[in-house]
Amino acid sequence: MGKLEIRNLSKAFPREDGSSLVVLDNISLEVQDKEFVCILGSSGCGKTTLLRMIAGLDSAESGSIVLDGEKMKGTDARVGMVFQEYSLFPWRSVIDNIAFGLEMQGMTKDDRYRLAERYLKLVNLTQFRDSYPSELSGGMRQRVAVARALALDPVLLLMDEPFGALDAQTRNMLQKELLEIWEATKKTVVFITHSVDEAVFLSDRIIVLTPRPGRICQVFPVDLSRPRDRTSPAFAQVRREVLDLINLNCSIQ
């Protein structure tokens, strides 16, 4: 299972003058089990803050987050997160980075390596098992981060612009690989992006946020079969519809 329900979620940060900066305002949405949802919005609209609250890394001013019928409080072992920064331990090898969370859970070395090897193969990095992060490209480091999150077997995978710092060619390649991993693992995915093209390529639905304070402007279903061809007229039409929606209704520039 992996059904996520967000109910009337709001978040504000205190300012030095004693006032508050409202970042998210009354967010309510549902993400179905095994669904791939992209949250799309401009910089500063609260996308990352929303993801951090789902992950239990930030608290909400009001509202609730429910996973499979259970209200979430703080961090939860059922939730995995991949950050935009690779956040790998530079002193640990690839296999040891992937196995880190399993080690913290008390799993024996043989068992955690056996499981880590499985996810290493899933992200096509078996030959780099004993390499260190400094020896890998940016795309490879991000694949290690994805494998590390998946090794903990979360029901919900949160991804905060994981490909945002990569060049276009690498980004497109990793998007395709991510969909293959998603189809193989059947995880529920919430993916943050500011790229319309990325959102259309990846998601079942696109949640469009307004500029700060972030509110849900529109929920856009992407009714395109996979694999998706970015050069097809159908893809271009959906991308145009999302852009028109943003420009006319959501004021994201």
Number of domains in the chain: 2
Q: Are residues 99 and 43 both part of a single domain?
A: no
Same domain, 117 and 237: no
Same domain as 144, residue 238: no
Which range marks the domain in which residue 93 is found?
A: 88-153
Are 17 and 74 in the same domain? yes
Least Cα distance to 211 among 85, 6, 1, 41 occurs for 41
The answer as to whether 83 is a domain residue is no
Structural domain ending residue among the three candidates 153, 185, 210: 153
Q: Are residues 123 and 9 in the same domain?
A: no
Q: In this structure, what are the phi and psi dihedrals at residue 204, rounded to the nearest 5 degrees? A: -80, -40
Cβ contacts of residue 38 below 8 Å, gap of 6+?
A: 191, 192, 193, 198, 199, 202, 203, 205, 206, 207
Starting at the edge strand that comes first in sequence, how are the strands of the sheet with 62-67 ordered? Answer: 20-31, 4-14, 62-67, 70-71
Residue 23 sits in the same domain as residue 95: no
pTM of the predicted model as reported, rounded to 2 decimal places: 0.93
* Cα–Cα distance for residue pair 133/86, rounded to 1 Å: 9
Q: Which domain CATH number covers 238? A: 3.40.50.300
pLDDT for the residue numbered 21 = 87
In this structure, are 239 and 125 located in the same domain? no
End-of-domain residue from the set 127, 153, 179: 153
The reply to whether 120 and 162 lie within a common domain is no
Q: Are residues 164 and 102 in the same domain?
A: no
Query: Is residue 186 situated within a structural domain?
Result: yes
Shared domain for 236 and 191, answered yes or no, is yes
State the 10-residue block means of pLDDT for the chain, 253 residues long.
92 84 92 96 88 91 92 90 85 95 90 93 93 93 93 94 88 92 93 94 95 90 94 95 82 50
Would 192 be classed as within a structural domain? yes
pLDDT at 249: 66
45 and 112, same structural domain?
no
- Same domain membership, residue 58 and residue 114: no
CB 75 within 8 A of CB 52: no
